[in-house]
Amino acid sequence: MMDRFTVLDLLSLEPKPPNTLNLRCICGRRGLSREIYSTDTNRPGMALTGFFEKFVGERIQIVGRGEFAYIECMGEKVLAPQLAKLFKYDIPCFIFSYNLEPQEYFKKAAEEAGIPILVTPLASSLLSIRLIRTLDYVFAPTRTIHAVFVEVEGTGVLIQGESGIGKSETALELLDRGHSLIADDAVLLKCLNGNTLWGYCASKVMVHHMEIRGLGIIDAVKLYGLNSIRDRQTVEMVFQLEAWNKNKKYDRLGTSDAAINLLGVDIPLITLPVKPGRNIPIIIEAAVLNHRLKSQGVNMAKDFNKSLNRWMENKNAKNQWFQDTAVKWG
């Protein structure tokens, strides 16, 4: 999350479609350094009538056609006391929708209070939705981790492990097999909506580049084409690479439900021991396909376990029948 996000930052942000805001400042530029604290917005209709009970002045105030019609109808003499009280709040800014511009007395009051007035052609409801999405992204919890992030069969895969274990080499093999790179070495994680983890390249310099020991820096786009890269992806699986430990018991049936918590989101975790002869990229591909089957209700490990239990029960039943028959017939 950013340390400080101001109205000027909001104007400069220019969110990409479908979240474009098309904002422009028409007055109160002295207050562009005002800080935005909340991801929520507010409609100041009740405050304009003089009712300030539970008025949330720390939020961005959106003025739509209803509020604008009231301002236009009442006039300066009626609204002067309400505006005087309204502009004492620490309001980050006003945003007028539908390209509506307030009367001169309203602009003058905002100018004196140092509160920016922004205008957008968007409808009020659409503006609220896009603004909340944008602010959710800005204020989302973030974390940078040492890992490689790739997209395998449409699934976002984080590859973690100690330095030199072979994370980048694994990602390089996956790229050669037709998958995509999001970030190498440093991955920026963002938790959106409290339950969805997104991954990005943490470095603007290293974006779409990889560092391979003994080879140096390579450009994934130039080597594998535009289809080999992605700007971002949701994190759906984490693979932990570690040196093979013969004294450690690893999951051999696939029934483990291990997970790692990243920014409050539990992500399935698979630990892969690395040793000569193991093709880690192919194992990751198989694990991703297996994960997709699980998401569709097909769990091969549990199905195998059930089949094994049925076979054992049938075998025990047959053995018991033969024993009982042998005793009966002496």
Q: Give catalytic residue positions.
A: 146, 167, 185, 252
Amino acid identity for residue 130 in this structure: R
* Contact present, 238 and 268 (Cβ < 8 Å): yes
**Residue 80 CA neighbour count, 13 Å, CB half:** 3
CA–CA gap between residue 150 and residue 233 (Å, rounded): 8
Tokens, residue 270: 């698979």
CA–CA gap between residue 79 and residue 81 (Å, rounded): 6
Write the CB contacts of 179 (distance below 8 Å, at least 6 apart in sequence): 150, 151, 152, 153, 228
* Contact present, 158 and 147 (Cβ < 8 Å): yes
CA–CA gap between residue 116 and residue 32 (Å, rounded): 6
**What angle (nearest 5°) sits at the alpha carbon of residue 155, between those of residues 152 and 156?**
90
CA–CA gap between residue 310 and residue 313 (Å, rounded): 5
* Contact present, 189 and 198 (Cβ < 8 Å): yes
Write the CB contacts of 47 (distance below 8 Å, at least 6 apart in sequence): 55, 82, 85, 86
DSSP code per residue over 197-233: EEEEES-TTTTTEEEETTTEEEEHHHHH-GGGB-SEE
* Contact present, 23 and 10 (Cβ < 8 Å): yes
Tokens, residue 16: 């990409």
